[in-house]
Structure 1
Amino acid sequence: MSKRLGKGLDALLPALSINDDDKVVEIPLSQLRANPYQPRRTFHDESINELAASIKEHGVIQPIIVRTVLKGYEIIAGERRFRASQVCGMATIPAVVKKFSDQQVMEIALIENVQREDLNAMEVAVAYQALIDQFSLTQEELSVKVGKSRSHIANFLRLIHLPEEVKQYVSRGTLSMGHAKAIVGLKDAKLIKALAEQAIKEQWSVRELEEEVKRLEEKADTKKTSAKAKKKDPYINELEETLRDVYRTTVKIKHNNNKGKIELMYYSKDDLDRLLELLQGKIS
């Protein structure tokens, strides 16, 4: 087991092992239901069929772990074995019944999949957010529980704010986690979608996408600066230049509705004294 796991999960995962004291029972598949906290949403038919073929030949070697619920049993660990047994047309499956709280079930489902790298980036993000919402955890508390850094948690949670279409790209693996991180900070949802589609179409690397984002941001900043400069009154520009020549320093005139102020910049005490002498001379 990874030493990076949080203490809470460190204590939970050994409970998934089966020892000689555990009683294995045959449970009808009809009485089983999937773990509602299972973060994995995609089960590939090919891998399930391969497992089904193995079960047909050898049976279910490792019992699944379940807990008792109102109507039957809920799967804690072993959903792939359950699904493969359905494919085989089996009536029952060997299982061990254990007691777990909702939070424990949720944490186990998440970490079991993450440790096996069964989840895509969006599934991990949704699972992290569900844990935070369901049990009022802070990002720091969650990072301890799952044995990941705070920045790791934050990066995944940011994916929740992507447009739905882009989330689907990440879920399908069409867009990588790195690509998603490059565009998730943009404010314009349409731009995020357009960049995602362009990155997929042109097979951009993460670096190429980052450079395109940087180029667009620099272009936007230039437009803002240019627009701001254009809005400035030509008369004010002329006055600033005149005063710069007179006082030999940077001069800014800020005005609004015929009211405003004139700013004279100085860069040392001597510079300030020089400006004060000039101003006093002008006043007198």
Structure 2
Amino acid sequence: MDKSKTKKTESFASIFGDDYSASPPDKKEGAIELKLEQLVPFQNHPFKLYEGERFNEMIESIKNYGVIVPIVVRKKGLKYEILSGHNRANAAKEAGLETIPTVIKEGLTEEEAILIVTETNLMQRSFTDLVHSERATVIATRHNAMKNQGVRTDLLNEIERLSKASSGLISTSRPMGEKLKSDENLAKEFGVSPRNVSRYLRIYKLKDPLKQLVDEGKIAMRAGVDLSYLSAENQEMIEAIVSEDTFKVDMKKASIIRNYEEEGKLNWKTAKSIITGEALRDPNKQKLVKIQPKIISKYFSPSQEIKTIEKIIEKALEMYFQKQQESINLCEEEEGDEIGG
């Protein structure tokens, strides 16, 4: 094998330097100052950014102490794409800084880049605090790493070590070597069932607008699983219909939609009739009739039991329809006499 063609594997520590030491170093080894205007966020960044009190606290901290932990970026055209440090970069701008300490990484694959984005975000928050789309990203990214353990497994192990050493952060993760064994261990790590691991892997395949609707509760999570099998075009159509009148999609509707696509019958008209519930209505279903309280009080006393009232109403209806039938029969007899005469 030509060693010159072998990709050099760097440890995650070399990416982050001493970011997670208990006491900040005076010198940020390997970091350079980049202008904030040169930075762009990670494309389709899958995690919600800080806001409110938490974000304001970060701004105040940066005003007082500066940005201690360098952000991590990679070159993206004429700009630098942030892999780790979106909140720090945003807070630095609000704090009035023009530059920020940065570690630039080169030669990362897309899988390695999203791995850095995902794992560093997971260090800062509990898995249970994440919305469905964020959980799906975490599980799918880790699942991909499990399938290809030869790709930067040293990064995974170093992330685990650094997350435990991180000041003020408590890692709930198991050793990375264990978690790479099977989906069952992945499920145990995040406190979900193996079946839910499979569901989150399907949610990850949804188009971003539909993921947003799952997060908002307009599409049930298990309904999202069925919708993930739709073509990209039909997913966009479903999102447009749901957003049009803020309809909701439950498991039953999603299952029918999926079946319609498989049968080649899914279009705007059929999809909307399913989502609005029109296609689910039984034309033969008896409508529920309610008797107004003022009618009940007109003919019955408050002391009468409901069963007694029901029997009286039933008897009255029998007498009514019996008289109706007698009237019809009488009319038919009179018409017959006229014809015969």
Q: TM-score, normalised by structure 1?
A: 0.48
Q: Relative CO higher for 1 or 2, CA cutoff 8 Å, sep ≥ 6?
A: 1
Larger relative strand fraction: 1
